[in-house]
Amino acid sequence: MLKCIDLSVSYGPVPALARLNLSVAAGEVVALVGANGAGKSSCLKAMMGLVPGKGGLELDGKDISAATTRSRVEAGLALSPEGRHVFPEMSVMENLELGCIPRARARYHDLVEEMLTLFPRLRERQKQAAGSLSGGEQQMLAIGRALMSEPKVILLDEPTLGLAPIIVDQIADLINDLRERGIAVLLAEQNAEMALGVADTACVLETGMLVKTGAAREIAQDSSVRSAYLGAPSEEESA
């Protein structure tokens, strides 16, 4: 559903991402794992056309490398950005409406109902200003706004950043739900435990380079990954 070929990103003379190759199938969750500054956000922003990138990008078999951000969204690509970036003075409903692109307008009311069912807390707060919501509620709103475009692929950039463990679990449940709906999910996360627990496939980035890729369960058992991102193994695991 989504495929990038030799995707590279630089900020002036500073490389942020070097010749990344990855693909995400329909109904698959792929986790991009890495420390802060590894290139995860740059990858997602380049895929959306928000920062200049070099290399190829295909969505559902079509080349979108030269497409504008708007065209990429119309084609079925959506981003829930790091930091949520909701419009704080606008209501929950107004933020959701902004995510409903022309292609999805005919289903606007159905889509709103789907989002309010998916996120019951938003139903309770639909008339409130988005800036008055908790961090977890704003994250739900950011993801709901992205889903209002009926994407084939959703890019989730640090969706659990700064959230309480109970909300992290809810985000994991949501990602599982998106998989069941057949939506392709590319998840960029510093929370490796959560990401590797929910993903089918994992890609480990270090200073802009892909250093490991494979089944998420296998990556989670890799000693170097455990040491770097999951902490030292317990005595039981070491036995």
CA dihedral for 199, 204, 209, 212, sign (positive or negative): negative
Q: Which amino acid is at 114?
A: E
The confidence score (pLDDT) of residue 99 equals: 95
Count the domains in the chain.
1
Give first-to-last CA distance, the chain, whole Å: 41
Structure tokens belonging to residue 100: 């409903």
Q: For the domain that residue 158 is a member of, what is the CATH number? A: 3.40.50.300
Residue 236: pLDDT band (50, 70, 90) is very low
Could you tell me if residue 16 is inside a domain? no
Q: What percent of the chain has pLDDT over 70?
A: 96
What is the model's pLDDT at position 226?
87
Q: Which domain holds residue 232?
A: 24-51+63-238
pTM of structure: 0.93
| Helix, strand, coil shares, percent, the chain, to 5 | 45, 25, 30
Quick check: is 4 in a domain? no
C-alpha dihedral, 176 to 178 to 180 to 183, nearest 10°: -140
Answer whether residue 100 is part of any domain: yes
Structural domain contains residue 19: no
Is residue 28 a contact partner of residue 201, using CB atoms and an 8 Å limit? yes
1 pLDDT more than 90 = yes
Q: What does the pLDDT average to over 139-168?
A: 95
Q: Is residue 43 part of a domain?
A: yes
Q: Tokens representing 106?
A: 């005919």
Residue 87 lies in a domain: yes
Domain assignment of residue 8, yes or no: no
Confidence of residue 181 (pLDDT cuts 50, 70, 90): very high
**Inside any domain, residue 15:** no
